[in-house]
Structure 1
Amino acid sequence: IVVAYGLMIPEAVLNIPRLGAINVHASLLPRWRGAAPIQRAIEAGDTETGVGLMRMELGLDTGPVLLEVRCPIVPKETAEDLEFKLCSLGQSLLIQGLNRLQEGIPWEIRPQSEKGVTYAHKITGKDTWVNWELPAQQLERQIRAFQGLRTYFQGVVLKIHQADALLPNQREGEAGQVCAIYSDCWDVQTGSGVLRLYQVQLAGGKILSSREFLRGRTLLVGMAFGLS
């Protein structure tokens, strides 16, 4: 039984178990095969995901699905929240599968379709930096998927932990520029729409609400983020 194992297993090892090798995978296969299915599902804006028991073979998460359970991805859910939920579902599903094996109940095997295949590529450092040219809605999803995004503020790394995306309207400056400041948040122009920041963290510091951050820092409309 394999859970969240990041390496390919040789065929000689897969052939050892008499009842086959089983992987617990946190997606609705064939969508999001690979290393980071939870994060990529949130980043893509999926509204549903799940957990499956899959019989392992040489391909990357290509084996037939033996059991599966679905669950919604609710608005504002982070990767950490979703992982906790899927872990609980995965535990129950694995116990159910082991009970089937013990009782000799045959699997309802579902071969994976070659339609709808997507790959959940491993998260890299590049993924965790803000590209202000992207739409605000995509950046908001990335913040939830990657446990925050980093940018530069006055030459210092600033990590954004919580934000909302506002629908596009009249553009108010260049991407990365502060376009409005309030008592408890501020808005930054993106490639499409505005990202409203609520929780941030300077390098080496603690996580602050935007209200706390604004008490100790001078922030003006027109200031640019993302400049090292």
Structure 2
Amino acid sequence: MPQPLKVIFAGTPDFAASSLSAVLNSHHQVVAVYTQPDRKAGRGKKVTMSPVKELAQEHHIPVEQPLNFKSEESLNQLASYQADVMVVVAYGLLLPQKVLDTPKLGCINVHGSLLPRWRGAAPIQRAIQAGDKETGITIMQMEAGLDTGPMLMTASTPISEQDTGASLHDRLAEMGAKLLVKALDDIADNKLQATVQDDQLATYAHKLNKEEAQIDWQKSAQELDRTIRAFNSWPVAYSQLDTNTVRVWQANIVDHSSNAAPGTILKADGNGILVSCGEGCLLLTQLQLPGSRAMSVKDLLNAPKNQQLFAPGHQFATL
């Protein structure tokens, strides 16, 4: 068995917590955890700890939450842990060179794509949205650029036509956790060889925002299907129908032709709500109305007012 490494773990959301859990269950030693400061979240704006902080506290591990690493105090604190390596997973901060140089063996990153494709903040969702057939995990030696460092280890997985941002996130989180422990073992044994990324093949995964989740019905059914799946479970695709913001959680491409204007409801029954697109049609199967939970169209149409709202001939707003 390789020698245990002293690890500083830096991460914030659930995706990162999966990797932290795997390291905690390995023979490597987590000496400190870095995560984003507690922030207000939810309707009540309650101050909430990150999933990584919660897990660290359960295991009685020191937690550091600097806003950045600009002060000598924060850099000295980092150095005081005398870590062999720093593992960074969806931390939410760009690390300066001084931080990258602090651990004896530098910093490694668990990234949710097959680099150099989809560098950046939202690689999982962008891969689905673009229609990629596969994606994966890259363990990377970090450098000052954004996801530009040499690759240490990769693992791939196909993207199915049923995958959503949520399902692919969970699968990659599990894959990344397993691959990370293997990478740490190989680093301890000095077995890993780095592969330089080809910058000419790089694509950038821009951060998601709520505005881009508004459905443009003039696009093809295929494009919209990918976007709806990519944005499930955040920010969730939506469209205006009369005065209602309708969030679309699930939809299917159907073999149906129509000359109706994009966004027009063609049919509404227990199977779903059939809507014309710029090319082809979509069958909406799970929706969420304001002030309500997401539910199947079958359940939604049990209410007479919803039958009126989604009556054939009504049209979703177009951009």
- Same fold, TM-score > 0.5, yes or no: yes
Q: In structure 2, what is the equivalent of residue 223 of structure 1? A: 314
Does the 8 A contact of 1:2 with 1:22 survive in 2?
A: yes
Q: 1:112 to 1:227 in 2, by over 3 A?
A: closer
Q: Equivalents in 1 of 2:120, 2:255: separation in Å?
A: 32
Residue identity in the other structure for 1:172: N
Q: In structure 2, what is the equivalent of residue 110 of structure 1? A: 195
Q: 1:167 to 1:115 in 2, by over 3 A?
A: farther
Deviation track 1:141-176 (CA, whole Å, cap 9, x = no partner) reads: 11111113111122011111110123573x331111
Q: In structure 2, what is the equivalent of residue 142 of structure 1? A: 227
Higher RCO (C-alpha 8 Å, min separation 6):
1
Residue of 146, 158, 177 corresponding to 1:91:
177
Q: In structure 1, what is the equivalent of residue 151 of structure 2? A: 65
Residue 274 of structure 2 corresponds to residue 187 of structure 1: yes
Residue 299 of structure 2 corresponds to residue 205 of structure 1: no
Residue of 209, 218, 225 corresponding to 1:124:
209
List runs of 5+ in structure 1 lacking aligned partners. Answer: none
TM-aligned CA deviation for residue 183 of structure 1: 3.2
TM-aligned CA deviation for residue 71 of structure 1: 1.0
Decide which structure has the larger Cα Rg and report it. 2
TM-aligned CA deviation for residue 83 of structure 1: 1.1
Q: Equivalents in 2 of 1:56, 1:195: separation in Å?
A: 42
Does the 8 A contact of 1:155 with 1:227 survive in 2?
A: no
TM-aligned CA deviation for residue 73 of structure 1: 1.0
TM-score (norm 1): 0.94
Runs ≥4 residues deviating over 4 A: none
Q: Aligned to 2:302, what secondary structure does the other structure show?
A: helix
Residue identity in the other structure for 1:182: D
Does the 8 A contact of 1:178 with 1:223 survive in 2?
A: yes
Q: Aligned to 2:146, what secondary structure does the other structure show?
A: coil
Q: Among the aligned pairs, what percent are the same residue?
A: 39
Q: In structure 1, what is the equivalent of residue 163 of structure 2? A: 77
Q: Equivalents in 2 of 1:226, 1:165: separation in Å?
A: 20
TM-score (norm 2): 0.68
Report the aligned-residue RMSD.
1.6
Q: Aligned to 1:115, what secondary structure does the other structure show?
A: helix
Q: Equivalents in 1 of 2:285, 2:200: separation in Å?
A: 40
Q: In structure 2, what is the equivalent of residue 157 of structure 1? A: 245
- Equivalences, count: 226
TM-aligned CA deviation for residue 29 of structure 1: 0.4
Q: Equivalents in 1 of 2:318, 2:154: separation in Å?
A: 46
Q: 1:86 to 1:119 in 2, by over 3 A?
A: same
Deviation track 1:69-94 (CA, whole Å, cap 9, x = no partner) reads: 11111221111111111111111111
Q: Equivalents in 2 of 1:39, 1:161: separation in Å?
A: 14
- 181-190 or 10-19: bigger deviation: 181-190
